[in-house]
Amino acid sequence: MINKFMTASVLALTLAACGGKEAPKTTNQASDAQQTTYMRDQIKIVGSSTVYPFATTVAENFGRTTKFKTPIVESTGSGGGLKLFCSGLGANHPDITNASRRIKASEVGRCADNGIDDIVEVKVGYDGIVLANSRKSPQLELGLRDVFLALAKKVPDGNGGLQANPYKTWNDVNVSLPKVNIEVMGPPPTSGTRDAFVELAMEGGCKTFPWVKAMKKTDKPAYKELCHTIREDGAFVEAGENDNLIVQKLNANPSAFGIFGFSFLDQNADSVQGSIVDGKAPTFENISNDSYPVSRSLYFYVKKDNVSKVPGITEYLAEFMSDKASGEDGYLAEKGLIPMNDVEHAKWKTSALGLEALTLKH
Amino acid sequence: MTEYALTTSPSLKRRHAKEARFKWCGRIAIMIALGFLVLMFSAIIFRGMGAFQQTKISLEVTFSELIIDPSSARDPQELARANYKPVLTAALAKTFPNVTDRNGKKRLYKLLSSGAVFEMGKLVSDNPDLIGTSQTIWLSASSEVDLFMKGKIDASLDENLRRLSDADIAYIKTLKSGGMIKKKFNTAFFTNGDSREPEMAGILGAALGSFFSLLVCFGIAFPLGIMTAVYLEEYARKSKLTDLIEVNINNLAAVPSIVFGLLGLSIFLGVFHIPRSTPLVGGMVLALMTLPTIIIAARASLRSVPHSIRQAAYGLGASKTQTTFHHVVPLAMPGMLTGTILGMAQALGETAPLLMIGMVAFIVDIPHGVTDAATSLPVQIFLWADSPEKGFVERTSAAIIVLLMFLILMNLLAVFLRKKLERRW
């Protein structure tokens, strides 16, 4: 009975699908006569929520200034985007995926399994991850070790062993810091920002203990567990993927800190301030010259096969890599992207426009 | 007689007190609920009202043919994409003749929205006769200027901490004294699709996406739901199987909506290859979600039709089908429609199932049919709430106001139908 019901509804749905498909074609035919030769007439983009604000800005400008339709951009997270991207060729799979980290060898393998052999890698620029608090409180000067000690689940006990994190206030971590309870809001584990924060800030601080650094070679899993696990006793609060919410909470609670991308600090500089890490403030200049320690590169990946099958991909690449977009004075810099310097930008621009396929060094 | 003097026994007094206490508890509960409602609504309205106004800057623009249409072809598509930046910088230079340095000119241009060139494009492609003339037109100001005009940028802060410099504010003051900067009704909010620039972003795309999704949802869920209800209620014999179906339908009504999204992802996208991100697939998923609600409401309203009606029809020689479709279903229709509208209102507010099928996406183009990529109203709210630009804060609340209006309208329609058409037996 249930089966019958399901078949009936599915039949009705497919009928509806066929009926629906006819309608819009007639309206669009006049404007776009050449579209019939393409497998799809609109670029589809998925991927990282960090790259999303930049990709959407480029997509919008591209849609408004060319004859092509505006690309659809979905924010699925870096990992989710690469999974969709590598799941196959054809109209139902995205043409481009954004990533706030580099593609992994395993993902390239997955792509190859599904017939996607040629991937074009494009570097967009940099992003800094900031540890910020309200302007009502003093700005902190932290070392990476302080960040690790404040947020790790287990910390060295000073006798070569480990102990559950005993630190309650920043002052316990480092006597030069104020006597304020450790209270940090950050993104959940599904977020690329969290991955990058853990890898750059936590592991960076963790490595400052020589014996832990030595452990990396001898016992990598234990090293990773120690350096990558964030405490769960309430000092670190998972605040969801909504960075705006974190900014609002920081305003309401001046003693709390939040972890988010530089673009949110840039847009809210009137109410929150980024902490100085290892002597470097999270400023545009410090992130772009790579002296601020918690920064990462942003990328997107293009299926080379689709370039001839979906109209506008080369033009989209040209728009993204143009000086007026991702260049040093481009409109993406206004949205909070840290652009590459001219030399690096020119290099990536050439490789993107030449559709050079990615080769991972093993 | 006098023995029965009205002395109040202590127990009666206690019982009265208890009753009064209970009444007050009820009143307080309602007051608290209403208080929260008022708080929520006023917070949203207070925050969102600003978005219905947009700061505009008046400029005297010379539509030079040499810049806009050097070939004189007057092709509307080319006109829409022509380079209007020099036209606008020239107009700004005319308004601010003493700003001559390159940096100052750049700053002046930033007062305008980056979408101002597209507004010009639309204006000229709609009225090609403007070319060669000089007109005073109102163009959108940038989001920062808009926020400043609405008092949301604190000019007393240190210059580095705000997104407008002292020079920018001086320019705005000059414009203000000349009456060349004003807050006007924000039509773009109702006629545009999504945008990364708060001042250019509108909800039409999302509203139409919701409309098309609901259309598909209604087209599938209503007939299927009514048929199922009629069959189960009027025709099916009571057996273990129908019991099982009933239990399942009731269970489905309580399944979290994200599950339907996953189902849609694997069946509609995976097996049937219906295009991702379209209202078609969105509507299908929402239909699966609302189906149980509609079936349950329709069955309840069929059950409320008195048996005497059926027996009278049989008595006059009507067949089962005639009885059902000539008498029972029409009488039950108001209840069925009410249930359907409430189900649709619920579907209108859903985001979770749409997440899985790609409708949570940045889509600028306004959809023209069920197979064009689209988002929906709640998704638009979610996306704007997540944007770093401050200008989106008020737009998020404004979109919530619009969504609430639609929900209230749909619920009012349901109440109206119930009051107007329902028969009391």
Q: Is residue B349 part of a domain?
A: yes
Does one domain contain both B72 and B172? yes
Does one domain contain both B107 and B209? no
Q: What is the tally of structural domains in chain B?
A: 2
Q: Contact at 8 Å (CB) between A59 and B364?
A: yes
Find where tokens 């037109």 sit: B137
- The pLDDT tens digits of the residues spanning B8-29 come to 677 888 899 999 999 999 999 9
CA B296 from centre of chain:
27
- State residue A156's pLDDT score: 87
- Beta carbon pairs, A and B, within 8 Å: 134
Worst-scoring range by mean pLDDT, A262-266, A344-348, B15-19? Answer: A262-266
- State residue A80's pLDDT score: 86
| Percentage above 70 pLDDT, chain B | 98
Q: Contact at 8 Å (CB) between B282 and B215?
A: no
- The pLDDT tens digits of the residues spanning A165-222 come to 899 999 998 888 999 999 999 888 767 778 888 988 999 998 888 888 888 888 888 8
Both tokens of B81, joined, read: 């994409």
CB contact (8 A) between residue A56 and residue B362: yes
Q: How far is A27 from chain B (nearest CA, A)?
A: 9
- The pLDDT tens digits of the residues spanning B206-241 come to 999 999 999 999 999 999 999 999 999 999 988 999
Rounded to 5 degrees, φ, ψ at B250 are -60, -35
- State residue B4's pLDDT score: 61
Q: Is residue B27 part of a domain?
A: no
Does one domain contain both B166 and B131? yes
Is residue B151 less than 8 Å (CB to CB) from chain A?
no
- pLDDT confidence tier of residue B336, bands split at 50, 70 and 90: very high
For A69, which residue in chain B has the nearest alpha carbon?
B365
CA distance A296 to A146: 20
- pLDDT confidence tier of residue B425, bands split at 50, 70 and 90: low
Alpha helices in A86-127 (DSSP H): 105-113
Both tokens of A345, joined, read: 């930008």
- Residue A10 confidence (pLDDT) above 90: no
Considering the domain delimited by A38-126+297-353, tell me its CATH architecture: 3-Layer(aba) Sandwich (3.40)
B83-95 mean pLDDT: 89
Which residues 231-250 on chain A approach chain B with CB closer than 8 angstroms? 241-244
- Residue A230 confidence (pLDDT) above 60: yes
The pTM (predicted TM-score) of the whole model is: 0.81
* Domain termination residue (choose one: B185, B214, B233): B185
B65-80 mean pLDDT: 83
B180-196 mean pLDDT: 92
Is residue B228 less than 8 Å (CB to CB) from chain A?
yes
CA distance B232 to B295: 9
- Residue B114 confidence (pLDDT) above 80: yes
**3-class DSSP assignment, residue A276:** strand
Does one domain contain both B157 and B245? no
- Sequence ranges of chain A with CATH classification 3.40.190.10: 38-126+297-353, 128-296
- Residue B156 confidence (pLDDT) above 60: yes
CB contact (8 A) between residue A75 and residue B365: no
- The pLDDT tens digits of the residues spanning B392-412 come to 989 999 999 999 999 999 999
Q: Is residue B251 part of a domain?
A: yes
Q: Is residue B227 part of a domain?
A: yes
Does one domain contain both B232 and B310? yes
B355-370 mean pLDDT: 90
B327-339 mean pLDDT: 91
For B217, which residue in chain A has the nearest alpha carbon?
A13
- The pLDDT tens digits of the residues spanning A234-243 come to 889 888 767 7
CATH fold group of domain A128-296? D-Maltodextrin-Binding Protein; domain 2 (3.40.190)
A92 neighbourhood in chain B, CB within 8 Å: 269, 273, 275-276
Q: Is residue B133 part of a domain?
A: yes
Residue from B248, B247, B228 nearest B236 by CA: B228
Is residue B161 less than 8 Å (CB to CB) from chain A?
yes
Residue from B303, B322, B298, B301 nearest B312 by CA: B322
Does one domain contain both B280 and B404? yes
Question: First vs last Cα of chain B: how many Å apart?
Answer: 48
| pLDDT averaged over every residue in chain B | 90
Is residue A30 less than 8 Å (CB to CB) from chain B?
no
A354-360 mean pLDDT: 83
* Domain termination residue (choose one: B154, B185, B216): B185
Q: Is residue B208 part of a domain?
A: yes
Does one domain contain both B226 and B293? yes
Domain that holds residue B156: 53-185
Is residue A270 less than 8 Å (CB to CB) from chain B?
yes
Check residues A208 and A10 and name the one with the higher pLDDT.
Answer: A208
- State residue B146's pLDDT score: 92
| pLDDT averaged over every residue in chain A | 84
Is residue B248 less than 8 Å (CB to CB) from chain A?
yes
Worst-scoring range by mean pLDDT, A6-20, A51-65, A105-119, B167-181? Answer: A6-20
Out of B25-34, B51-60, B110-119, the most confident range is B25-34
Q: Is residue B214 part of a domain?
A: yes
CA distance A215 to A209: 10
Is residue A52 less than 8 Å (CB to CB) from chain B?
yes
Residue from B52, B402, B48 nearest B206 by CA: B402
| Percentage above 90 pLDDT, chain B | 56
- pLDDT confidence tier of residue A131, bands split at 50, 70 and 90: very high
- The pLDDT tens digits of the residues spanning A23-82 come to 343 344 444 444 447 888 899 999 888 899 899 999 999 998 888 999 999 988 888 899
- State residue B209's pLDDT score: 95
Q: Contact at 8 Å (CB) between A36 and A178?
A: no
- Residue B421 confidence (pLDDT) above 90: no
Q: Contact at 8 Å (CB) between A48 and A100?
A: yes
- Domain of B264, CATH number, reads 1.10.3720.10
Which residues 295-354 on chain B approach chain A with CB closer than 8 angstroms? none
Q: Is residue B313 part of a domain?
A: yes
A295-319 mean pLDDT: 92
ipTM of the complex: 0.81
